[in-house]
Structure 1
Amino acid sequence: MTETETIYATEVTELGPEVAEFLEADLMILFAEGAPPELAEISVNHRPSEKREAPPVPGDVLVIQDHELRITAIGEKAWSNVLQLGHAVFKFNGASEVELPGEIYIEEPNGLDLTELVVPGARIEIRTEVSG
């Protein structure tokens, strides 16, 4: 039996004025509440509720509300940014190698409208499957 374990869980609290443009370009930038104003403008501001030290790996799942998208690549600095700042850069491009060390790549959303999913109150999680 396969179960899931939550690696990271957070709730969207506010969207910066430029977020919709980024989401339409399949890019989501998270920043925990209290981000500097210039970063808050482009960020999905959020309040983390759960996080583990060990980073996710390709094959783990990003869940936005009830929609699951697989992680395809994760940069070497991405997880420390998440743990220290609540900061993450998600690109929904399905690539298997990251261009920058702070990025996390996710499979393409294939028709999902990220601007409808990423709204205040939305829950965002990263999960991994564990064998039971």
Structure 2
Amino acid sequence: MTQFLRTTVTAVGPDVPDLLEGGVLILFADGAPPELAEVSVMHAVDGEPAASAPAPGAAIRVGPVEARLTGIGELAWAKVRDIGHVVVNFNGAAAPERPGELAASPVDGAALAAALVPGAVIVIGD
């Protein structure tokens, strides 16, 4: 299995559950400004993200919840590598709405919210 990213959740902002209801997950590396932390899942990357971006079809796992990437924005992986930030839209789109985002297959928002707790592991990989 090629692992593109492995990271551990350190904190979950108070507005994250509302965003998850709409299928949006915002990841931001520890140290984000407080106004961004409110809407983000803060995390600490284990090692380094892969140099190359994953392709559509790669798995994204948040604890026991799994989806497949359906679209990769042209700037998304650079943002992951540089600042540990990415927006994942669980809408099944073939192309993300913005170049810095990832699109993934739909998931149950409540299950995703339940999986996002400090210590949970997020993995992007085939």
Report the structure number with the largest CA radius of gyration.
Answer: 1
Unaligned runs of 5+ residues in structure 2 are: none
Residue 54 of structure 1 aligns with which residue?
Answer: 52
Among 5, 8, 15, the alignment partner of 2:5 is 8
Residue 117 of structure 2 aligns with which residue?
Answer: 119
Q: Distance in 2 between matches of 1:125 and 1:76?
A: 20
Percent of aligned positions that are identical: 43
Within the alignment, does 1:20 sit opposite 2:17 as a pair? yes
Q: Deviations over 1:17-70 (max 9, x none)?
A: 111111121110000000011111110000000311110110111011133210
Residue 38 of structure 2 aligns with which residue?
Answer: 41
Residues 61 and 71, structure 1, Cα contact 8 Å, conserved in 2: yes
Q: Deviations over 1:76-127 (max 9, x none)?
A: 0000000011001000000111211011001011576211111111100000
Q: TM (normalized to structure 1)?
A: 0.90
Residues 79 and 85, structure 2, Cα contact 8 Å, conserved in 1: yes
Within the alignment, does 1:67 sit opposite 2:65 as a pair? yes
Q: Report how many aligned residue pairs link the two structures.
A: 125
Structure whose residues are more often strand by fraction: 1
Q: Distance in 2 between matches of 1:111 and 1:84?
A: 28
User: Any runs of at least 4 consecutive aligned residues in structure 1 with deviations exceeding 3 A, and if so which?
Assistant: none
Report the alpha carbon displacement of residue 75 of structure 1 after superposing the two structures with TM: 0.3
